[in-house]
Each structure stands twice: as C-alpha cells, then as structure tokens.
C-alpha cells in the first residue's frame, strides 16, 4: 500500500509518496507553479485514484484540475467548470474546498465568494447550489481576514440529500432535502466579536472548520474563531469542549479515521499572535470527544512563530493513522503513530494552505 500527501501552497502544489511505514518520502513539484492552491483531494473511489487541486492563477483565475497518474499529467475542467451564471454579478476568486459525496462520481466544491457547487461526473462539470447562493441571510454574511468562503462541506456519509457546510463569517448551514433549502445550525456557538448581549446569534459566527466521523454522522466537531465545540445532534445545538486547551483559537480540526471520539486541533494565539502559545508547536489530541486534551509535542519544534491553516491538518486511513500538518513557513510534519511522535517530512516550501492524505492499494 502506498501513501500520498498533497500539499497546496500559495505558489503551487507538491505531492509526496511513501509506503505504509511512512518513513521515507519522495516529492514532486511544484505542480501548477506560482498558482495558489487552497484545496486538494486524494479521491480513492472508483478503482483509479484521482488527485484534485483547486488552483488560482493571477492571470487565468481559478481552475479545478485532476490527475489519474499521481500528478504526472493533469486535466482541466472544461471552460473552468466552476463559474457563476452570466448576469449574476459574481466571479469565482478561489476554490477553497473539494470533497467527495456519498455517491459514486459526486463531488462538492466550496468557493470564494461564498458558494457551494456540486458535480455528478467526478469533477468534469459543477452546478451552483442556488438555494444557498440566494439564501436570505447572504446579504449579512461578512468576510474574515482570509475572505468570505465556504471552507467546510460535509456530505452525509449515507444520505445524499443531507449536506452540512460552513462559511466565515456566516456560520454553519445544513440541507436535508438535496439543496432545495438550507437552515442555519449555530445554536450555542459564541461570536466574541459582537456586543455581549448579541453573542449567540442565529447566524453570523466566524466558524473556521467542522469535521465528523462517517461512523457517527450525528456528532460534529467545530473550531470557531474563539471556541472549540461538539454537537451530538448534527448541528442542532453545540457544547463548548475547549476549556483545557492552551488557546481556544485555531483554524483546523480533524477526527481520527477509525475512532470517532478522537480529535486533533492546532491552537494558535488569539489577537495578533497567530502562532501557537509560547511558540511551541503542538497538536492537541482528545480521545474522549473533547472532555480532556493532551498536547502532542514529541519531535515538534519550539520557537515556532507560524500558524496552521484550516485545511492544513489531516489524517490518512492507515492503522495506526498518519496525522499531518503544514505550516505557513513551508514546513510539513507527519506522525505515523496516531499523533504520538512527529518528524518533518518537507521544508522550505511556500506558505502552506492545505494538506490532504490518501492511501492507495
């Protein structure tokens, strides 16, 4: 079995390959040189593994590309595929998310400005989720410092009519009728940037990332702009689980591939210090759904004055699982033992925006 790690940066994409031991790595890149790669995916469905990248060129705009030979050659979606209809007054700036649906051939993409798109032909074409794009709340969605984008899309693992999505700043939304309607799912999530009496609004929260395990789809985990939360009713209500962390501010949150109660976050300092508290790189792990936390630092550097973005922490499906993160100083770190110990597997890359892993064979 082989392991593939895709690393998207602000100046291209790198692809790492290893075996199931994940001790030695070979790298190719840059692919899509000098293009911003905010999203990528190792899609192992359908027999032939397909790599996807959402790249943005300063001259040609955004493009979804795919490769069926682990990056040796790339195909482009015809005409760009992800484009707003004429007369909409909107232009796609970046593709922030590419994820598989629960049905063969289905993919979802999230873009800036905030929109969700669906493909039923494995990325050849994409259709706009118009009910979400035309949602009455949209006029009040704000923009985080990174821009307004649907950075999280969670298709239900067995129900194709159910999808949960999140946007900064707007919050969590969910459809249960195949996209005909979308409802906010933010009860209990705090918005610290609002006046005290308004800090639990129906929508408008600055959600950074949401995740879940396919064996327990009703349980969601969320990293907010200040706060880490768990929902046990698929977003109907949320409970804070971040009190033990060094900081409840961060961007990524990832669930273990085989243990739905095990989650990982990478806390950053709040305010102006967008690096880990004390400048000690640490992946914090909970094995009891957020009741308690442990800082995993073995092998990680101190004097680490950079952050980890919302899609730059991920897991593979080996047992024990590989956990990976990429940082804004161009370093990529990996653990082959569920996060217990770490080592650097790439360095001196451009600013890392996303990291995705997959197991082939």
Tens digit of each residue's pLDDT (9 = 90 or more) over 231-262: 999 999 999 999 999 999 999 999 999 999 99
Does 226 have pLDDT greater than 70?
yes
Q: What pLDDT sits at residue 48?
A: 87
| 221 touches 211 (CB < 8 A) | yes
Residue 159: what pLDDT? 98
Q: What is the pLDDT of residue 81?
A: 75
**Structure tokens belonging to residue 60:** 């040609």
- In the structure, what pLDDT confidence band is assigned to residue 77 with cuts at 50, 70 and 90? confident
Give the model's pLDDT for residue 24: 97
Q: Please report, for the chain, the start and end positions of each structural domain, with discontinuous segments joined by +.
A: 2-360
Is the link from the previous residue into 169 a cis peptide, with omega within 30 of 0?
yes
2-360, CATH topology level: Methylamine Dehydrogenase; Chain H (2.130.10)
Mean pLDDT of the region 68-91: 88
Q: Are the C-beta atoms of residues 359 and 343 closer than 8 Å to each other?
A: no
Alpha helices by DSSP H, 130-276:
130-133
Strand, helix or coil for residue 152: strand
Distance between CA 125 and CA 130 in Å, rounded?
15
Q: Give tens-digit pLDDT for 120-141.
A: 999 989 999 999 999 999 999 9
Length of the chain: 361
- Confidence at residue 76, expressed as pLDDT on a 0 to 100 scale: 87
Question: Under a CB-based contact definition with an 8 Å cutoff, are residues 318 and 327 in contact?
Answer: no
End-to-end Cα spacing for the chain: 5
Is 47 or 293 the better-scoring residue by pLDDT? 293
For residue 315, the cross-strand partners are 323
Q: In this structure, what token pair is assigned to residue 220?
A: 């969601």
**pLDDT recorded at residue 47:** 80
Answer yes or no: is pLDDT of 80 > 70. no
Count of alpha carbons within 13 angstroms of residue 208, beta-carbon side: 28
Instruction: Please choose, from the candidates 300, 313, 320, 304, the residue with its C-alpha nearest in 3D space to the C-alpha of residue 257.
Output: 320
* Secondary element (H or E) of residue 230: strand 228-231
Specify whether the CB–CB gap between 254 and 263 falls below 8 A: yes
Structure tokens at 184: 């906010």
If one counts every other C-beta atom within 10 angstroms of the C-beta of residue 55, the result is 27
Task: Please determine, for residue 146, whether its predicted confidence score (pLDDT) is greater than 80.
Answer: no
> Is residue 15 a contact partner of residue 2, using CB atoms and an 8 Å limit?
no
Say what the pLDDT of residue 61 is: 87
Residue 278 has φ and ψ, to the nearest 5°, of 70, 5
Tens-digit pLDDT profile for residues 254-311: 999 999 999 999 999 977 788 999 999 999 999 999 999 999 999 999 999 999 999 9
Residue 319 has pLDDT above 90, yes or no: yes
Question: Which residues are registered as beta bridge partners of 297?
Answer: none
Predicted pLDDT of residue 143: 84
Question: Residues 357, 18: contact at Cβ < 8 Å?
Answer: no
Which of 326, 306, 319, 323 has the alpha carbon at shortest distance from 357?
323
| Mean pLDDT value of segment 213-222 | 97
- The pLDDT assigned to 78 comes to 74
Q: What is the pLDDT of residues 187-212, one digit of tens each?
A: 999 998 889 999 999 999 999 999 99
Q: Is the pLDDT of residue 9 over 70?
A: yes
| Mean pLDDT score across all residues of the chain | 95
Question: Pick from 247, 214, 213: which is nearest to 228 by CA?
Answer: 247
């Amino acid at each position: 079995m082989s392991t593939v790690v895709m690393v998207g940066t602000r100046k291209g994409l790198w692809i790492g390959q290893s075996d199931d031991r994940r001790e030695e790595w070979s790298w190719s890149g840059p692919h899509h040189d000098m293009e911003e790669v905010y999203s990528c995916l190792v899609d192992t469905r359908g027999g032939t593994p397909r790599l996807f990248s959402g790249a943005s060129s300063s001259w040609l705009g955004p493009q979804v590309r795919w490769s069926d030979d682990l990056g040796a050659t790339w195909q482009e979606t015809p005409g760009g595929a992800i484009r707003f209809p004429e007369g909409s007054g909107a232009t796609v700036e970046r593709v922030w998310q590419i994820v598989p649906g629960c049905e063969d051939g289905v993919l979802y993409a999230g873009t800036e400005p905030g929109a969700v798109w669906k493909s039923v032909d494995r990325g050849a074409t994409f259709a706009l989720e118009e009910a979400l794009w035309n949602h009455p709340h949209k006029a009040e969605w704000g923009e985080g410092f990174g821009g307004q984008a649907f950075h999280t899309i969670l298709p239900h693992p067995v129900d194709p009519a159910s999808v949960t999505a999140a946007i900064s700043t707007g919050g969590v939304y969910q459809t249960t009728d195949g996209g005909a309607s979308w409802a906010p799912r933010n009860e209990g999530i705090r918005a610290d940037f609002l006046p005290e009496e308004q800090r639990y609004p129906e929508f408008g929260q600055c959600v950074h990332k949401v995740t879940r395990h396919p064996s327990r789809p009703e349980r969601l985990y969320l990293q907010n702009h200040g706060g880490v939360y768990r929902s046990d009713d698929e977003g109907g209500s949320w409970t804070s689980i971040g009190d033990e962390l060094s900081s409840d501010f961060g961007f990524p949150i990832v669930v273990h591939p085989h243990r739905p109660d095990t989650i990982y976050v990478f806390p950053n300092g709040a305010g102006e210090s967008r690096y880990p508290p004390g400048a000690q790189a640490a992946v914090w792990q909970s094995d009891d759904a957020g009741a308690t936390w442990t800082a995993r630092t073995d092998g990680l550097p101190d004097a680490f004055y950079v952050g980890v973005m919302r899609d730059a922490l991920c897991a593979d499906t080996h047992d024990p699982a590989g956990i990976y993160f990429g940082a804004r100083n161009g370093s990529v770190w990996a653990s082959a033992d569920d996060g217990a110990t770490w080592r650097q597997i790439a360095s001196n890359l451009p600013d890392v925006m996303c990291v995705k892993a997959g197991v082939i064979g």
